Structure 1
Amino acid sequence: MKKLVTWLMLILILISSVIINENVVNAVEKQNDSSEIKVPTDSKTSSHSEQLVSTQSKSESKSESKTTSSEKSSSETTTQSSSSHRDKSVIQNQSRDAIMPTATINDGVTGWQPATQTTIASIDIDKAANKSLNYTFGNSDGTLKFDQGNGGIIANNMPPRMNVFIKDNGKIVESSFKSTAGMGGSYDYSLLTTRSSTAPTIKTTSTSAQGSLTGVQYFQAKDAKGQTILKMVGKYTTIVGRVPSFTLEYLLRPSLEKPSVQQELYIYNATSAAIDGGIFFAKDTSLNGNDGVPVSAQGNNAGMYIADGKYKLFLNMGVEDGPVKFNAMSYHRNGSYSLSDYAMNDYSPANFDGTGIEVKNLKEGATVYSGSDSAYSAKWNWQTFQPDTVYHFRNDLGIATAGLVVPEAAETYKNKTTSDQKNHVQDNITIEMKAHNLGYSSEWKDINVTSKIPDELDIDPSTIKVTLNNGDQVAIDASKYNQTTRMLTVRLPKNLAENEWSSISFDAKINGKASGKTINSSMVAKTEGGTGSFDTATASTKIPVEVEPVEIEKKVLNETEKETTYQKATVGHVNDVLDYQVKLTVSSNGADMSNGVLADDLAKEGLELVPGSVKLTYSDKTVETPADVKQINLKK
């Protein structure tokens, strides 16, 4: 890696007279192993710099055509990088010791109105066929009946449960066992405070179980498509009878793109103390009255699904703020439903830290569980819940009917340069954009994938290729990437049948504009000319980049044309004399630069250095006069 010492800043102003053409300047910091890391010319000089080095030189143009020497200005990236599942920015004016019944949680929704637990919302799957996807915090029949499971006692005080189901011409097609009687065997979101526990029960860990949740309120609002979003908020304590520790928000947010619902939890630590714990989610599944349909894997660790020939239930885990581990297992309880204890079963080992099928990289359709009574669970990383901080967790559940296309997209990246799990300027990465038909007995046709490549990435168009579902690769012409608009547009060569994937990949280099920022890359997969309910899928990935310790700004003026101000571009002719000014800055957010090298290959760009024109000035006013700019060894 880069050899850095302490926080110093070098300011280098190099004015050189060169031939007009766009030059490449590389600030190189040598390592002990003689490898180099180059910093591109399109980086902005930091406004927080402490020391600068400046060089000036002149060169004469030998090109016979008009040329332009330019430097693109860096665009600002407004997205922020944060720890997974955690958002410190959304708590406003909260007293650290106050227990708030509804904390200031930014869920991205406005216009909340009061609702009841029995409110049932829906989105159309096939309006003409009278089929809809429904979701509620109560029972699928609009009641609050609750089968407590010990002798079949029915009560009317059902705890809030996330309930997603289909109505097919009035028939309820459930996704969870006893969807009309309280779903007592489902944990929903749970909090474990004993990390080594092998059999946590609903009674002791479910955040919505009776006795653990107080001050419950329900709300509803509309999304951009006019679909209803449902919210439940309340106060939760890990020990019944103690002062509540958390404010919780359960959210049922319908997808804008497919027949699924985002099952979300926002959790706010409303105390003055940090609390260690682990969030998990578990459901006792049932599909269309069948408790024993096998559970299968989605490819690329996207999740799992259950299909019975007429309906398909899919459990999506590979989503933003989604779980890191998941599995399917046999449902089990030791007494009443509140003593259900299956959530950690079949992990290796059977505790919170045990791994699930995510380490197996199963192919699409591989069997995960084939027993008589299926259930599933998912887990997030164990962590410390800090005071005055909101955390977010999500997993998605959807149901498709036969013949329905369910378009999905996923975007990932891999750093090919470093293995320290950090990204740096000049690192080479591979981005993969995937399209997936999760539908049932259907075909997603005429798929176009588009992506506007971020300014912080320099794509290599010659590396664009498509990988088909069977593993075959198809090279894509470089012209599919428009250098001017930065748009990548690729038509997939084959339609996607049920459970099939195709992906587009390409190589790119992280440039200086990304220093200390998070690159947001996104994609859209859409049926060409599509107008159906479900014909589009979007995805994105965030690429956090370390602060680059050195940045360069390069400007030029045409001395022959009697210009007096250095600019990012000028126009000249053969034999014009150009003055170049280069500022090299070491960021105050980085460390000292040792063994720095400034290099500018003028001949490569058709420029000839005017002898004796190079002047190197450090921020301590030290001046040097290098004979050339091919390799200037800089002091610390």
Structure 2
Amino acid sequence: MRRSRYLKPIILSFFFFALLILGVFGTSQNVKAATITGNEIDDGIKNWTTQGNSQVGQKTIGNGLSLGYTFGLANDANGKVTKGNDTTVATNSTQPTTNSSNNLSFSKINIFLNDNGNYKASQFQSGGTLNTNIKPENVSLSSIDFGIVFSPTAAASNSTVKDYALLLNMTGKKYYVGTDANGNQASKVVGNYSKDGHTFLMEILLRVSPGNSAFVQRELYVKNTSGTPQSFGIFYGEDTTLSTYDTVHVKDLGNKNGVYIEDGSYKLMVSNNVPDGFTKYTGVRYNSNGMSWLQKLTNPTNFSGSGDEANNNPYGTDLTLGSDSAYTLMWPYTTNLQPDETAHFNSGMGVTESPYSVPVAQKTFTNETSTDGKNRVGDKLKFKLKMGNYGYKSQWNFSNIEDKIPDGLQIDPNSIKKINQSGTSTSIDSSAYDATTKTLNAPVNLSLTDGQEASVTFEATITSDADGSTVTNTGDFLGTDPNTDNGVTKTYSSSVDIPVEGNPYKDSFTQQIKNSKDSDWGTTAKGSKGDTINFQNTYTVKSNSTDSLKAATASFINKLPTGLTADGSATFTFSNGTASYTSSIENGTIIVPSLAPGDSVTVTYSATVTGDAGTTLYNDATLSGGKTSSGVSLGTLTTNQTELNIENMIGFTSIPTKIDFGTVHMAGKEKTLSNVSTDGQLIVNNSSSVPYNVTVSYDNADSETQIKDPLTGTVLDPSADTGLLFLKQRSSAATDSGTWQTVDATGTKIRTSSFTGNQDLTNYVGVGDWQLKLSPTTNPGGYSGKITWNISDSI
């Protein structure tokens, strides 16, 4: 016995020595250390510290209400929220030897509602939160949390905790706490996973959505620590409860977004509006005698099957049809994850109380050019910025989206659209984009109730500035919760990363503009009808390029917008001394000479302003059909946008077309209605330097403008003698909380301080910025009226 005890380490020593010798001669074998540091996976948080006991994170909702999140126990025997202090958080997970085989203990995710210090559970807690004998191992005892399968045809009928629970095969676990960029706590459990020849490093992470709403992301990172590619499928299962109410039905969020439950006071929602969110989900009956978490998958009845998302259910569809409910989330099967590569899986979870809204922002993009999933210079991308409200008996007044377009992307200002709650798409005026600052300020002005969402979309082209880099684009979503925010505007954000393939051929393509009366070139210019506008385009093969532009392949085109008429031909001048020539700019011109690294061609031409004052014209040029000397096709390259403002006008270029106050049942009571949407924009073109005021007026005594039912002629009566129509007047900025002022025939300023120059004032007159105060005697009907806008010099 003694000899065999020492024989094993000697054999291992020779074994590892042999591996080292083989490595020198080119044979490799991945051998990963079992010690975990917490830095093995780049999850975006840099200040992780290991902890011996759990800590509770809190995200404030308002008025003593907050969303809590941690691993392990978070309440005491009296049902009060604690700071955590669960010393078993990194204990190896086990199944109890007694009771149900469904159960699983330790390192369990715990997301809950903190209602003024009272713990409100969102997953079933064994033993009851008021039990004096409550134990850490009972936290979320009947939920599987993350599960893993190793075949896309893993049977749905036998998807139990014993077979598929990820936590059961994690060892060497460590618990870490850090903070995100917004100062919110994040926590994670990291451990080694091994089963049936599959070895991974697993990281389970909890953090507040980067958009900073009361929405916690439950994330799983899976790093392949073996020496061979690995394939697997990930799902997540939870036994639901809400506060102390266990018999709640799981319902569909609609639009294939996920699920929710509600009990009359509280609401829990689980959404895939997060990066790498789940693609399938089911609401299921919980079976205490033997729970199969994939039981509801169909066509086929295994991991490859479909869930409730396949039905494209409307918001509120009951998915469980049973008293004791649960839900399962699933992600696409991962195939051939390479050694040292990491896969990411994510779901967002929020819990709230009536009448709080839960705004969740999401920004995504699709490549409309590429067919292989890769992004390249010249590709056209379509971005979608979506805001959903997952609150409970709530309202979110979605005012606008601000998006700073980064270098490497060129937006098409004529592609901006708004999609409302019913899916109807309308165009947003191109003036919502400021080419000088490269900032989009898109008005939305819609009131979102529970389960509703609205979006803004636009198209952009990848420019050469992005070559070989990752471009990050962030959208800011602004709005108010009229029930809880007291008119204060809140901002939520969502980002998307666009990795762009590198190309050994390096180039740039730019456009500049100026009025012929000016001396300096730029990306914007001002002009009046009859003025001459000069353009200058430069295409350069950068000096660090390893390839050249092949002669007689690239076609240059600049299709001038309506409002500009070309003056003669364009002149093509080459930096390498090749003779210049002239040609049309709108019908396509072949660039005849080749361009070596460091060479460029400059195209200059002029146009006359023929458009109307108050118009903004956007313009870019394209270079298509080009090839490098090695035969690589360049596709279609696009310059940056230039902007021409046609001025010599003081007035409105756009006014709202509709201010909608929705519907109401009077019931013989006085009512105050806030507008639920504003269609159109309020835009002023003012080329003078004189300060001015913008006012709006309404004359309730004028039969041409008064608000009345066109079918019956009935006129709306004001409430008592306080007035009928009101505007939230600001003092100096659209984000001010404002005060309510009567709108009457004399005119009401939208802002007490004056304006100067061109202005987009839509955010002063958007959703929630208007009120109607109705008399108890108001007759039923459909009412409409007219308001008048005015601009006057500030005195």
Are 1:319 and 2:313 matched, yes or no? no
Choose between structure 1 and 2 for higher RCO, CA contacts under 8 A separated by at least 6 residues.
1
Matched with 1:250 is 204
Are 1:138 and 2:72 matched, yes or no? yes
Residue 485 of structure 1: CA displacement? Answer: 0.6
Matched with 1:165 is 112
Give the letter for the 2:304 counterpart: D
Residue 631 of structure 1: CA displacement? Answer: 12
Deviation digits for residues 44-66 of structure 1 (CA, Å, limit 9, x no counterpart): xxxxxxxxxxxxxxxxxxxxxxx
On the 8 A contact 2:194/2:200 being kept in 1, the answer is yes
Deviation digits for residues 337-385 of structure 1 (CA, Å, limit 9, x no counterpart): xxx3223533432222122234444333333333222222222222234
Corresponding residue to 2:457 among 505, 514, 517 = 505
Distance 1:137 1:552, change over 3 A: closer
Matched with 1:308 is 263
Matches within 5 A, 1:230-309: 230-239=187-196, 245-255=199-209, 257-309=212-264
Give distance in 1, aligned partners of 2:550 and 2:429: 41
Give distance in 2, aligned partners of 1:631 and 1:273: 43
Distance 1:273 1:153, change over 3 A: closer
Give distance in 2, aligned partners of 1:379 and 1:489: 36
Residue 136 of structure 1: CA displacement? Answer: 2.6
Question: How well do the aligned residues superpose, as a CA RMSD in angstroms?
Answer: 4.4
Residue 548 of structure 1: CA displacement? Answer: 6.7
Give distance in 2, aligned partners of 1:536 and 1:451: 12
On the 8 A contact 1:439/1:498 being kept in 2, the answer is yes
Matched with 2:403 is 451
Q: Secondary structure of 2:195's match?
A: coil
Deviation digits for residues 394-438 of structure 1 (CA, Å, limit 9, x no counterpart): 222220111112111122334455666555544444322222211
Are 1:410 and 2:362 matched, yes or no? yes
Q: Secondary structure of 1:204's match?
A: helix
Give distance in 1, aligned partners of 2:283 and 2:625: 61
Distance 1:485 1:299, change over 3 A: farther
Listed as ranges, the gaps of 5+ residues in structure 2 are 1-27, 77-85, 130-137, 512-520, 524-534, 560-565, 582-591, 598-622, 632-795
On the 8 A contact 1:512/1:548 being kept in 2, the answer is no
Residue 97 of structure 1: CA displacement? Answer: 0.6
Matched with 2:292 is 341
Q: Secondary structure of 2:431's match?
A: helix
Deviation digits for residues 488-535 of structure 1 (CA, Å, limit 9, x no counterpart): 112322222222212222333444444455443321112279799993
Give distance in 1, aligned partners of 2:570 and 2:500: 34
Q: Secondary structure of 2:66's match?
A: strand
Give distance in 2, aligned partners of 1:379 and 1:197: 13
Give distance in 2, aligned partners of 1:140 and 1:631: 61
Residue 314 of structure 1: CA displacement? Answer: 0.8
Are 1:206 and 2:165 matched, yes or no? yes
Tell me the matched-pair count: 505
Give distance in 2, aligned partners of 1:579 and 1:115: 61
Distance 1:486 1:503, change over 3 A: same
Matches within 5 A, 1:148-187: 148=96, 150-151=98-99, 158-178=105-125, 181-187=138-144
Matches within 5 A, 1:350-499: 350-380=301-331, 381-416=333-368, 421=373, 423-445=375-397, 447-499=399-451
Deviation digits for residues 552-596 of structure 1 (CA, Å, limit 9, x no counterpart): 55799xxxxxxxxxx999xxxxxxxx9998655899899997983
Give distance in 1, aligned partners of 2:437 and 2:538: 29
Matched with 1:113 is 49
Give distance in 2, aligned partners of 1:461 and 1:95: 53
Give the letter for the 2:349 counterpart: L
Residue 393 of structure 1: CA displacement? Answer: 2.1
Matched with 1:627 is none
Give distance in 2, aligned partners of 1:589 and 1:328: 56
Give distance in 2, aligned partners of 1:443 and 1:313: 16
Distance 1:125 1:534, change over 3 A: farther
Give distance in 1, aligned partners of 2:48 and 2:540: 52
Give the letter for the 1:260 counterpart: F
Are 1:195 and 2:152 matched, yes or no? yes
Give distance in 1, aligned partners of 2:432 and 2:536: 38
Distance 1:358 1:456, change over 3 A: farther
Give distance in 1, aligned partners of 2:338 and 2:558: 52
Give distance in 1, aligned partners of 2:624 and 2:166: 63
Give the letter for the 1:293 counterpart: V
On the 8 A contact 1:109/1:223 being kept in 2, the answer is yes
Residue 311 of structure 1: CA displacement? Answer: 0.6
TM-score normalised to the size of structure 2? 0.55
Distance 1:413 1:587, change over 3 A: farther
Distance 1:490 1:297, change over 3 A: same
Q: Secondary structure of 1:353's match?
A: coil
Distance 1:232 1:431, change over 3 A: closer
Corresponding residue to 1:100 among 34, 37, 54 = 34
On the 8 A contact 2:375/2:501 being kept in 1, the answer is yes
